[in-house]
């Protein structure tokens, strides 16, 4: 099976991907025979709390740490990014290169997101949820797992996913619905998707009803149960995203992910950059 296009890739234009190197990523895609790449750069507006030691080994994140214990993402350089995309399109004509953004918590920042999308035309727009409220502040799952039980955090995350889908109509693909699972704490025991089937199914049903696509994110093993529930709840389309922050991670795990998605009843589109769609 030919690999699908990678629809979730970060380059040096993402604030948390200093090793992203768009040109080197394109060169690797050509070497791999990958048909398409979407550079969906981070556009984040939420400053998030971190726990002691969480940023160890991540000097690029420490550069954005503030004295009040948060990481505050910088403004996205739209002009520089779009110029780089055009340079890469000229240099790699055989590779389909899509422009894009990954909008963090777009339902909380409607005005800011509207201005960004008015300023730039993007081929692929992802919506994602990285943070949840902690009182009047915000945090990612690792901090939250120190505050309350892991199951409670995941259920709150999926409830916020529903709000994100209902409030924001700015994105076409929901990214990494499994985001909290990446850092699931060992003290919570092995992660069991079936324990959260009702909450996942509800979020997937709302997404399906909105007519948007679900991303199979391969940064970690994506539970096949989620794809099966997506189909059961009426989901029509799937994309694949490595969430690569460096060229080496491009299309990581795609062969296994594509086989899994095909086994759940989805097939490639007519063009390499098309969504995979369900049969029947």
- Tell me the average pLDDT across 121-139: 96
Confidence class of residue 165 from pLDDT cuts 50, 70 and 90?
A: very high
Q: Is the pLDDT confidence value at 108 over 70?
A: yes
- Tell me the average pLDDT across 269-273: 85
Rg (CA), the chain: 18
What is the CB neighbour count within 10 angstroms for residue 74?
10
- Tell me the average pLDDT across 158-184: 98
pTM above 0.75, yes or no: yes
DSSP code of residue 223? P
Q: In whole angstroms, what is the distance from residue 54 CA to residue 62 CA?
A: 10
Burial 80-92 (b: 16+ CB within 10 A, else e): ebbebbeebeeeb
What is the reported pLDDT for 164? 98
List the beta bridge partners of residue 65: 71
Greatest CA separation found in the chain?
Answer: 55
- Tell me the average pLDDT across 234-248: 98
Task: Name the helix (H) or strand (E) containing 229.
Answer: helix 224-232
What is the reported pLDDT for 1? 66
What is the reported pLDDT for 271? 86
pLDDT tens for residues 36-95?
A: 999 999 999 999 998 777 888 888 889 999 989 999 999 999 999 999 999 999 999 999
**Concatenated DSSP letters of 59-119:** HHHHTTB-TTSEE-PPPP-HHHHHHHHHHHHHH-TTSEEEEEEEEESGGG-HHHHHHHHHH
What is the reported pLDDT for 53? 79
Q: How buried is 203 (Cβ within 10 angstroms: 0-12 exposed, 13-18 middle, 19+ buried)?
A: buried
Q: In whole angstroms, what is the distance from residue 72 CA to residue 196 CA?
A: 31
Q: In whole angstroms, what is the distance from residue 82 CA to residue 13 CA?
A: 10
């Amino acid at each position: 099976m030919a690999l699908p296009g990678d629809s979730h890739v970060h380059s040096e234009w993402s604030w948390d991907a200093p090793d992203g190197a768009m040109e080197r990523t394109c060169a690797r895609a050509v070497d791999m025979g990958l048909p398409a790449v979407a550079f969906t750069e981070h556009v984040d507006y939420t400053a998030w709390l971190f726990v002691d030691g969480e940023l160890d080994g991540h000097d690029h994140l420490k550069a954005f740490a503030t004295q009040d214990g948060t990481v505050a993402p910088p403004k996205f350089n739209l002009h520089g990014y779009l110029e780089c995309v055009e340079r890469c399109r000229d240099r790699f004509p055989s590779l389909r290169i899509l422009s894009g953004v990954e909008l963090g918590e777009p339902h909380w920042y409607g005005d800011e997101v509207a201005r960004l999308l008015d300023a730039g035309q993007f081929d692929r727009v992802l919506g994602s949820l990285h943070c949840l409220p902690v009182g009047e502040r915000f945090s990612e799952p690792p901090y939250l797992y120190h505050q309350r039980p892991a199951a409670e955090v995941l259920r709150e995350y999926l409830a916020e996913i529903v709000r994100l889908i209902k409030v924001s109509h700015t994105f076409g693909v929901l990214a990494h619905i499994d985001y909290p699972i990446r850092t699931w704490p060992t003290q919570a025991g092995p992660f069991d998707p079936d324990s959260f089937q009702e909450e996942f199914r509800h979020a997937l049903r709302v997404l399906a009803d909105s007519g948007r696509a679900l991303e199979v994110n391969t940064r970690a093993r994506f539970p096949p149960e989620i794809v099966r529930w997506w189909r059961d709840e009426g989901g029509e389309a799937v994309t694949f995203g490595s969430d690569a922050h460096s060229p080496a991670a491009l299309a990581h795990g795609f062969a296994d992910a594509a086989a899994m998605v095909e086994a759940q009843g989805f097939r490639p589109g007519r063009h390499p950059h098309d969504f995979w769609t369900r049969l029947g």
